[in-house]
Amino acid sequence: MSQVDVSQGGRHLAPLLPKLMKAASTVGSIAITMLGLLFVTFVIGRVMPIDPVLAVVGERASQEVYDQVFIDMGLDRPILVQFLYYLGDVLRGDFGDSVLTARPVSQDIARVFPATMELATLGVVLGVVLGVPMGVAAAVFRGRLIDQIVRVLTLAGYSMPIFWLGMMGLLLFYGILGWVGGPGRLDIFFEDIVPTVTGMIMVDSLIAGDWDVFANAFSHIILPASLLGYYSLAYIARMTRSFMLEQLSAEYITAARIKGLSEWQVVWRHAFRNIRVQLITVIALSYANLLEGSVLTEIVFSWPGIGSYITTALLSADMNAVLGGTVVVGLIFVCLNILSDLLYRLFDPRAK
């Protein structure tokens, strides 16, 4: 290849270098974040006052059996060596076997995660659909009755423990009024009727065209999803109100009103348009928090999701399941942050 061809190729690659460097930086930061998460959770799992060997052999096992299992599990090695072995297994998608289920942890997570995703997705949808208009209305009518109502509702959403709301909701809407289904995802009669495609029962029932299963699944999910939606609504409405107040006090809003634009155009076409990017990050973080933080809701409603799976594993000293679930939750946070960053660039060309 001639020197001219090489120089021309270099000129063609030059505009791509910043993008390649940005991509490499993003991949590197993700790798470092996940490595740090793996190391911290692994070390915490090893220093906790829980003996994973007893979870396997039981308290009545002889000392010889205990020592053999201790060696077989690699616990006799230095902790750094244990972590390197564990890291190699994780990179191959192997989180080990669960003590409780005797199945690979990856299979257990694939089984329970769709339940959490279904619950959190419906919750964040309710939070966005209700929280964004409430936040906008509170900002537009600042200091008036609607603003005071929204502020009280959002403050209550932050203040009241979600497990207490769950128990009160079950008592009122299930026990007394009978408006919703009870704990669990389905009544026993409807279990295993529709084939599992996505693991999300409402979606699978729609695919199968079974409206009875869909209605029963909806009656069970609507109460816990509403509670998570209320928690999400409190955060989204408060942030929306804050963002809108900042925009409505800007000079360009005053100029738009002087030009004779209607209040609807001023609020939605100008002020709200400029907070979309900020809301993307807020909604992504809210969704990640619901996926990770729905543990108490899942326990109260006997919802077989990843939160209750990790909690049960922790109480049973099933550290492979705990570590595997924690890694998956951390990966979700990273993926949602990357998605919000991509959407940020899509809606705000200045970020490019």
CATH of 111-351, one of 2.60.120.260, 3.40.630.30, 1.10.3720.10, 3.40.50.300: 1.10.3720.10
Average pLDDT, the chain: 83
Q: Which residue has the higher pLDDT, 293 or 255?
A: 255
Distance CA 327, CA 109 (A): 11
Distance CA 208, CA 202 (A): 10
Residue with tokens 């660039």: 345
How far, in Å, are 49, 54, 64, 319 from residue 60 at the CA level? Answer: 19, 9, 12, 20
Of 18 and 144, the structure prediction assigns the larger pLDDT to 144
97: phi then psi, degrees, rounded to nearest 5: -105, 145
Give the mean pLDDT of 301-316.
Answer: 87
What mean pLDDT is predicted for residues 97-109?
86
Instruction: Count the helix, strand and coil residues of the chain and give each as a percent rounded to the nearest 5.
Output: 80, 0, 20
pLDDT-derived band of residue 257, with 50, 70 and 90 as boundaries? confident
Q: Global pTM? A: 0.82
Helix (H, G, I), strand (E, B) or coil at 100: coil
Per-residue confidence (pLDDT) for residue 6, from 0 to 100: 46
pLDDT of residue 326: 84
At 13 the pLDDT is 52
Q: For the chain, give every residue range classified as CATH 1.10.3720.10.
A: 111-351
Give 97's strand partners: 104
Q: Lowest mean pLDDT of 72-86, 117-131, 174-188, name the range.
A: 72-86
Contact indicator for 163, 300 with CB cutoff of 8 Å: yes
User: Of residues 115 and 77, which shows the higher confidence score?
Assistant: 115
- pLDDT the model gives residue 74: 77
Q: Is 123 exposed, middle or buried (0-12, 13-18, 19+ CB in 10 A)?
A: buried
Contact indicator for 165, 225 with CB cutoff of 8 Å: no
Predicted pLDDT of residue 89: 84
What's the alpha-carbon Rg for the chain, to the nearest Å? 25
